[in-house]
Structure 1
Amino acid sequence: MFGWLVKRQINAFEKMYNYDMTYARVLLDADPAAFRKFAKVMGIARYRKDVPQDVWTAAKLVGAMAEDCGPCTQLVTTMSEHAGVPPRVLQAILERDFEAMPEDVALGFRFAEAALAHDPEADGLREQVVARWGKRGLVSLSFALTAARLFPTLKYALGEGKTCSRVTVGGKSLAVARHQVA
């Protein structure tokens, strides 16, 4: 019964976001208990308190782009569009165009990138994040960054990762400007 219900949810997710969830089926078929443990991560992936959606999206996309330049980055982009993030903001994030990003979004992006790189600049950016959105805002951005990296890493480890592809935002196809992170 559990497997049947989960497979229906996976199918619905795939349809809603035009996203291949084969990796989730592989996990479920290998061990339903492992899938249940994996599903608990969704709480971390969805946690967003005290920080605007577009800023949270910037941190999430930094994490996704560090691990993937294809389907996972597209999924975060599509989900962000559904959540109301304007295509021009998503395009600026994907192209690493800081001048086109709103100031808050650029802060979230720079913080996430510096944190991933273990760059000492992260300390000052972290202070700005806490000053602007508080400790829960910092946790929100940290969870977004961390969770966004988990999914593509798991997909590639299970053999379900795909090569780089262009990402579509607001009907426009873009190449992702990946920043190599240590």
Structure 2
Amino acid sequence: MITTLVHHQIRRFERAAGYDASYLHELADASLGAFRRFAGVRALSSFREDVPLDAWYAAKIAATLAQDCGPCLQLNVTLGARDGLPAAQLRAMLTGDLAAMGDDAALVWRYARAVCVRDFEADLLREQIVGRWGRRALASVALQIAVAGLYPTLKVAFGHGKACSRIRVGEEDIVPRLAAGSVA
């Protein structure tokens, strides 16, 4: 009964987001206990406090791009568009066009990328984020960076990893340009 309900919830999410969550079905079938614990990641990935929406998505997209440039990245872009981010800004986040992102998003995008590659620039950028929005905003951004790798890693572990692909923004396909190792 519980397994049926879990699969129903996953299918509802898949339909709403246009996302293949086969790996979540497989996790639930393998272990409901593991699925329940992993479900807590959703709460982490939706946490936002004191940081502007575009900057928050910049953290999600930059960090996801460092981990995965396929369906998980597409999901973040789709959700960003649904939350009202302009296609041009999402395109800029995918291609690393800092000038087109806007100042807030560019700051957090650069920070997320620096954290992902362990670049020393992260220290300076962290100070700027705290100075601009405070430590609660930093916590929101840090959680998005940390969570970005969980979904792609689980997908690959269950054999559902995908190669890099074009990302749909509005009516246009974008090829993410930055490799995981490049900061800017």
TM-score when scaled to structure 2?
0.95
1:99 matched residue in structure 2: 99
State how far apart, in whole Å, the 2-side matches of 1:170 and 1:5 are.
33
Q: In the alignment, residue 170 of structure 1 is paired with which amino acid?
A: G
Contact 1:69 1:178 in 2 (8 A): no
The 5 A counterparts of 1:79-90 are 79-90=79-90
List alignment gaps of at least 5 residues for structure 1.
Answer: none
Give the secondary structure class of the aligned counterpart of 2:134: helix
The 5 A counterparts of 1:19-168 are 19-168=19-168
RMSD of aligned C-alpha atoms?
A: 1.1
State how far apart, in whole Å, the 1-side matches of 2:117 and 2:165 are.
24
Measured against aligned partners, the alpha-carbon deviations of 1:101-123 in whole angstroms (never above 9, x if no partner) come to 10111000001111111111111
State how far apart, in whole Å, the 1-side matches of 2:181 and 2:154 are.
18
Shift, 1:67, TM fit: 1.3
Shift, 1:95, TM fit: 0.6
Q: In the alignment, residue 79 of structure 1 is paired with which amino acid?
A: L
Give the secondary structure class of the aligned counterpart of 1:168: strand
Give the % identical residues: 45
State how far apart, in whole Å, the 2-side matches of 1:17 and 1:59 are.
20
State how far apart, in whole Å, the 2-side matches of 1:181 and 1:39 are.
29
Give the secondary structure class of the aligned counterpart of 1:173: strand
Q: In the alignment, residue 16 of structure 1 is paired with which amino acid?
A: A
1:177 matched residue in structure 2: 177
State how far apart, in whole Å, the 2-side matches of 1:54 and 1:148 are.
16
Q: In the alignment, residue 46 of structure 1 is paired with which amino acid?
A: S
TM-score when scaled to structure 1?
0.96
Measured against aligned partners, the alpha-carbon deviations of 1:117-165 in whole angstroms (never above 9, x if no partner) come to 1111111100000011110100100101111111011101110111111
State how far apart, in whole Å, the 2-side matches of 1:46 and 1:99 are.
26
State how far apart, in whole Å, the 1-side matches of 2:180 and 2:128 are.
24
State how far apart, in whole Å, the 1-side matches of 2:66 and 2:10 are.
25
Measured against aligned partners, the alpha-carbon deviations of 1:2-25 in whole angstroms (never above 9, x if no partner) come to 211111111111111111000000
Q: In the alignment, residue 176 of structure 2 is paired with which amino acid?
A: V
Measured against aligned partners, the alpha-carbon deviations of 1:56-114 in whole angstroms (never above 9, x if no partner) come to 10110111111111111101100111111111110000010112110111000001111
State how far apart, in whole Å, the 1-side matches of 2:107 and 2:76 are.
19
Q: In the alignment, residue 49 of structure 1 is paired with which amino acid?
A: E
List alignment gaps of at least 5 residues for structure 2.
Answer: none
